[in-house]
Amino acid sequence: MSPETLLELNNVSVQYGGVTALDDVSVSLDEGEIVALMGPNGAGKSSILKAVFGLAPISSGDVLWEGQKIVPIPHEVVARGIAFVPQGRRVFSDLTVEENLEIGGYVNRNAKLTRERMQSLFEMFPVLKDKRKAKSGTLSGGQQQMLAIARGLMTDPKVLLLDEPSLGLAPKVVKEVFAFVKEINEKRGTAVMVVEHNIKSLLTIATRGYILDKGRVVAHGAPEELVSKGTLEKVFTGAAL
């Protein structure tokens, strides 16, 4: 039985004040996949995630969730089973690790369920369990990134959208973060769509990848296929495709 397609963008265009960020873009995410969105700065990668989450103005095209067209509105998207971890971690630095996770689980509206999910995440992220009473602002960059991801998982989403999870992190920490992303995908069955500039780390865990340039998808396929064709190198060096 083939996996169900959870999320699709069909011919989506996004414009900010007359500037086209996405130009007729189509991407998809199936159950159990890790899909990489790659390309140079300004290629439109983050705009895809924001379009899904209702944070970008879609001028044309459709967003489909489990085969049904939706109009993305953030709280409704969360209720459907999509979590978004934005760039820059953005934890509540004056709140404890525990309090950050409680905020992530606010839509559960069930204190027992929130506690159970928090406990499950502490088992997956032992460093967060050890620091559960610490103010989040005292955590290292890598720990804050793990907290941001764990907070997104408090709703037990089917899909996790990650925007540049390795930004500003040391190489060793980047490796740990990607290992956690892979573990989330395998153990929880969460499908992941991730925007990332650290291509080498991302391609070791991705199922498929899309390469964007100037707001358009210029290549799509398995990671090894994209690397062997040299498409990534051409896009990043500005060579003609």
Q: What is the pLDDT of residues 189-216, one digit of tens each?
A: 999 999 988 787 888 899 999 999 999 9
> How far is Cα of residue 113 from the mean position of the Cα atoms in its chain?
24
- Could you identify the residue written with the tokens 């085969």? 67
Query: Across all residues in the chain, what is the average pLDDT?
Result: 91
Q: Which domain range does residue 62 map to?
A: 5-237
* Phi-psi sector, 152: left (phi>0), alpha (psi -120 to 50), beta: alpha
User: What's the structural domain count of the chain?
Assistant: 1
Lowest mean pLDDT among 52-61, 134-143, 173-182: 173-182
List the CATH number of the domain containing 129: 3.40.50.300
**pLDDT of residue 159 exceeding 70:** yes
Q: What is the pTM of this model?
A: 0.91
